[in-house]
Amino acid sequence: ASIAVIDIFAQSMNYTGSTWCGPTLFAIIYSSVTVWTAVFSRLLLGRPLSPFQWAGVVVVFAGLTITAFDSMSVGPAVFRGSCLVIIGSAMHSMTYVLSEAIMTRGEAIPVRINCTVQGC
């Protein structure tokens, strides 16, 4: 249930932020979900990242910082929207990592039961 609550807040932030910052900024910022997922996977699941992957994380976060601060010149609503989308994107990626943490704990579900539950 906590993952669903996080996702509700994440989507609310993303939708509200997209109306304030516009579709172009939203698309640029929201594309950072992959990088947030890599960082949270490292922090919560202990997945290693190579030096090149860490360099990519730094480059993306530098770009996000530039995008967010550049949006200040457009207006306070655009800046607030950009900040909401950054936080919403991070929270959305957290739902992926938390879901994986739950799915990889304990015993594996047999394939037949998994297909029955998911309707394969």
Q: What is the mean pLDDT of residues 84-110?
A: 90
Q: What is the mean pLDDT of residues 55-70?
A: 86
- C-alpha 40/C-alpha 110 separation (Å) is 28
- C-alpha 82/C-alpha 53 separation (Å) is 24
- C-alpha 42/C-alpha 101 separation (Å) is 12
Domain ranges of the chain: 2-118
Residue 116 is predicted with a pLDDT of 83
pTM (predicted TM-score): 0.79
pLDDT beyond 80 at 69 = no
Q: What is the pLDDT of residues 70-86, one digit of tens each?
A: 777 788 888 899 899 99
pLDDT beyond 80 at 12 = yes
Residue 120 is predicted with a pLDDT of 64
Q: What is the pLDDT of residues 34-48, one digit of tens each?
A: 999 999 999 999 999
